[in-house]
């Protein structure tokens, strides 16, 4: 009925104009010249005419009756809130929207899936049917380290998409559509199906081409460790995205953090050889590569026996001896404890992401206000008035 209402008050919509644009032109002061040329009056006059006409119209009476009915039913004047949706609804809607965005964005997971398939084909053919010779001990360790380190390292490829998500979150958060918690939960849940797909398909190709230890339980553990490591890297990159919004600097920062963790994860330098003051305590225990490598090694070597080529030694060597002496793995707990620790680290990383978002939300306005009130800035502007004009022109 809007078109009829505007027409009856002297503001008909032209034949070839979008009605929405016409209504905005009529009541927006930015288009004063258009209104004056078309109707011989200013925007204020047009608004005054429309308001008076609406107040005396039948539509206004219906709205008042409806409002009174709602007030009687609800037991008071309805209050306007920032968001009418509950936390669960917010999480479900954000999860669905994020899932669809990830499905449509080729660079988010589909390109990575293709790269992972190509890499796992390379790994599978290089280490094809590795066998159980003495030389396969080192080869198995190298192959598993590559999966734990470099395959998960590729998760930084989604960082540009993370930055875009953060920009959208910033705008919608300022409008009060949902909270930080709902965003973190939605982002986490929506990525799980894609990470599972990336872990299972390329992981199965590498696992069975190499000929690692047979058994469904062993493959499930292998895929589960790969999956949780990818979740860890994504959580780490989301933390970086919340602090470093520039995607080039963010990728460099994330790659640097992972490089440090990878270096002291227990492969390039055995645990007992790491310097104690910093690299062994605490960095070795903070790096998720420690638990990924040890989980992979326990899953693969426990229960196997290899021929021993060392002169003067026994004819065979067990997987447990290899874990203790070759890789210096902590065998006091099972591989599932390593998996549980990795999952716990995912939760910690996501809580850190939540905390940083809340902190930035509180601190950024304070910093902006302090910067705006800086005496040095005010003095600079007063002494150089041309600079303020240049900023305005640039804006």
pLDDT tens column, 6-64: 998 999 999 889 999 999 888 887 765 544 444 556 888 889 999 999 988 888 888 88
What pLDDT score was predicted for residue 163?
85
d(CA 220, CA 218): 5
93 lies in the same domain as 242: yes
Place 82 in a pLDDT band, splitting at 50, 70 and 90.
Answer: low
Same domain, yes or no, for 142 and 62?
no
Average pLDDT over residues 83-110: 89
pLDDT for the residue 362: 84
Same domain flag for 143 and 31:
no
Which residue, 32, 47, 74, sits at the end of a domain?
A: 74
- Of 108 and 297, which is predicted with more confidence? 297
Give me the pLDDT at residue 314, please.
85
Give the end of a domain, one of 74, 98, 121: 74
> What is the pTM (predicted TM-score) of this model?
0.73
Residue 375 lies in a domain: no
Question: By residue range, what is the domain housing residue 26?
Answer: 2-74
Identify whether residues 174 and 31 lie together within a single domain: no
Residue 285 included in any domain: yes
| 82 located within any domain | no
Output the 3-class SS for 130-192.
CCCCCCHHHHHHHHHHHHHHHHHHHHHHHHHHHHHHHHHHHHHHHCCCCCHHHHHHHHHHHHH
Indicate whether 202 and 127 sit together in one domain.
Answer: yes
23 shares its domain with 49? yes
Question: Is 172 in the same domain as 292?
Answer: yes
What number of CA atoms fall less than 13 Å from residue 10's CA on the CB side? 14
Query: Is the domain of 277 the same as that of 173?
Result: yes
Report residue 388's pLDDT band, with 50, 70 and 90 as the boundaries: very low
pLDDT at residue 86 above 70? yes
Q: For residues 241 and 133, state if they share a domain.
A: yes
Domain count of the fold of the chain = 2
User: Same structural domain for residues 198 and 94?
Assistant: yes
Q: pLDDT tens for residues 206-237?
A: 999 999 999 999 999 999 999 999 999 999 98
Within-domain flag for 393 = no
Q: Are residues 181 and 297 in the same domain?
A: yes
Angle at which helices 159-174 and 216-243 pack, to 10 degrees?
60
Query: Between these two residues, 75 and 86, which has the higher pLDDT value?
Result: 86
- Residues of the chain with pLDDT > 90: what percent? 50
**Residue 346 main-chain phi, psi, to 5 deg:** -60, -45
Q: Quick check: is 391 in a domain?
A: no
Residue at which a domain ends, from 44, 74, 104: 74
Question: Does residue 378 sit within a domain?
Answer: no
pLDDT band at 77 (very low <50, low <70, confident <90, very high): low
> 307: which strand partners?
316
- Cα-flanking dihedrals φ and ψ of residue 285, to 5°? -85, -15
Q: What is the pLDDT of the chain when averaged over all its residues? A: 85
Establish if 15 belongs to a structural domain: yes
154: in domain: yes
Q: What is the mean pLDDT of residues 61-78?
A: 80
Q: Is there a single domain that holds both residue 59 and residue 113? A: no
- Residue with the two structure tokens 């009130």: 373
């Amino acid at each position: 009925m809007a078109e009829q209402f505007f027409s009856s008050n002297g503001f008909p919509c032209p034949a070839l104009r979008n009605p929405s644009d016409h209504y905005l032109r009529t009541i927006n002061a930015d288009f004063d010249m258009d209104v004056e040329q078309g109707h011989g009056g200013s925007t204020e006059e047009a608004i005054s005419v429309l308001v008076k006409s609406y107040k005396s119209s039948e539509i206004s009476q219906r709205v008042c009756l409806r409002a009174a009915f709602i007030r009687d039913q609800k037991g008071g004047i309805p209050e306007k809130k920032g968001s009418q949706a509950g936390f669960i609804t917010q999480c479900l809607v954000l999860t669905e929207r994020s899932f669809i965005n990830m499905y449509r964005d080729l660079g988010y997971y589909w390109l990575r899936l293709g790269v992972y398939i190509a890499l796992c084909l390379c790994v599978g053919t290089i280490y094809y049917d590795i066998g159980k010779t003495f030389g396969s001990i080192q080869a198995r360790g190298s192959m598993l380290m590559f999966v734990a380190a470099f395959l998960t390292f590729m998760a930084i490829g989604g960082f540009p998409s993370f930055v875009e998500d953060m920009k959208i979150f910033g705008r919608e958060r300022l409008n009060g559509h949902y909270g930080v918690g709902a965003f973190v939960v939605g982002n986490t849940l929506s990525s799980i199906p894609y990470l599972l797909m990336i872990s299972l398909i390329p992981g199965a190709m590498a696992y069975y081409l190499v000929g690692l230890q047979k058994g469904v339980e062993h493959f499930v553990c292998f895929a589960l460790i790969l999956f949780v490591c990818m979740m860890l890297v994504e959580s780490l990159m989301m933390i970086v995205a919340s602090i470093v919004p520039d995607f080039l600097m963010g990728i460099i920062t994330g790659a640097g953090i992972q490089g440090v963790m990878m270096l002291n994860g227990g492969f390039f330098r055995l645990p007992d050889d790491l310097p104690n003051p910093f690299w062994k305590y605490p960095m070795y225990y903070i790096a998720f590569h420690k638990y990924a490598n040890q989980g992979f090694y326990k899953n693969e070597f426990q229960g196997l026996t290899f021929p021993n080529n060392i002169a003067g030694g026994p004819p065979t060597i067990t997987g447990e001896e290899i874990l203790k002496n070759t890789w210096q793995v902590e065998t006091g707990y099972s591989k599932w404890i390593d998996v549980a620790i990795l999952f716990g680290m995912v939760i910690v990383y996501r809580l850190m992401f939540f905390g940083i978002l809340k902190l930035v939300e509180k601190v950024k306005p304070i910093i902006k206000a302090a910067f705006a009130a800086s005496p040095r800035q005010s003095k600079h502007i007063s002494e150089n008035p041309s600079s303020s004009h240049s900023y305005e022109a640039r804006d």
